[in-house]
Amino acid sequence: MNNSIKFLVTKKENRERVDIFLSKKINQITRSFAKKLIESKKVKINNKIISTPSTKIKINDKIVIDEINHQEQKLLPKKISLDIIYEDNHLIIINKPKGMVVHPGAGNTENTLANALAYKYKNDLSDINGKLRPGIIHRIDKDTSGLLVVAKNNIAHSKLGKQFSEHTIKRKYLCLVWGVVRPLKGRIVSLITRSKRNRQLMTVSDIKGKKAITNYNTLKVYNIKDIPKISLIECILETGRTHQIRVHLKYKGVSILGDKQYGKKNQTYKKLNKEFSNLIMNLNGQALHAQTLEFFHPKTNKIMSFKSQIPENLQNILDLLNKLSS
């Protein structure tokens, strides 16, 4: 979008949300990107800047998207090894290791997945989410491992982004938690918002925030001497809010092994099984892995399904727990 883009609202578009209107009018942008344009005050209705994506439009409203010419931080390409498990002309499936940040942010501008993508693919990725996030459609936390889909072009990005927005992409996670979730299987529905006490954390709220839905199933409960009860849980996301699984499990009264933000404070392992204690101490992040990803291919519309191996540090804990419980 090199110049301002202008639209006139017709009768059939009356009372439509402005973010939905823009995503329909501009084929290569997603609704989430339309929201970003609005929230960054790049959209005017009848010469007045708006900042609320849910603003309703009316017949004969004049909508203008201003030229996007703000200075962006330059993304530094960096040679970083990537675990690519699938690639074609439209998308890439990457198995992200624990410890890797998805895109540049405060304190980390050079060692992210985005830097690695810029080095390997140059400019051959979608740019819908800006120069700092080439091909990036969704994220997983720094200390969570697992599968990510990356878009090679804007059309693929838009179609995949729509699947995320409509919650048709299937994402399945595995995690180990302290304790037992009751009931053992269920569906958590809540609002999630930023914590008032710590703006870097999220929390469940009764009155504000974004709707979040997590389906969970306890696969196994380990009840072993010298080790507190531990559960292996499978989580299937219907939405993808920041820290969603970690926040929802905390809401249910448990926490993920190794989770320093939402886990138990001042956790001590001195009285635990020594071998188990050593594995926990070397976990370096939460025992949470984005194991499977399923979606419709943006070009062929065929179902694509991917599954990644459990990372070694998590698998070592599972192997020990299974050995001690047998």
Residues annotated as part of the active site:
141
Q: 26, exposed or middle or buried, with CB in 10 Å at 0-12, 13-18, 19+? A: middle
Here the tokens at position 144 are 């969570």
The sign of the dihedral angle between the CA atoms of 27, 118, 70, 2 is negative
The structure tokens 């990356």 sit at 150
Residue 130 DSSP symbol: -
Residue from 78, 113, 68, 62 nearest 92 by CA: 113
The CA distances from residue 157 to 11, 129, 150, in Å, are: 30, 9, 8
Residue 324 DSSP symbol: H
Which residue type occupies 94?
Answer: I
The sign of the dihedral angle between the CA atoms of 128, 130, 131, 134 is negative
Cβ contacts of 264 within 8 Å, gap of 6 or more: 178, 255
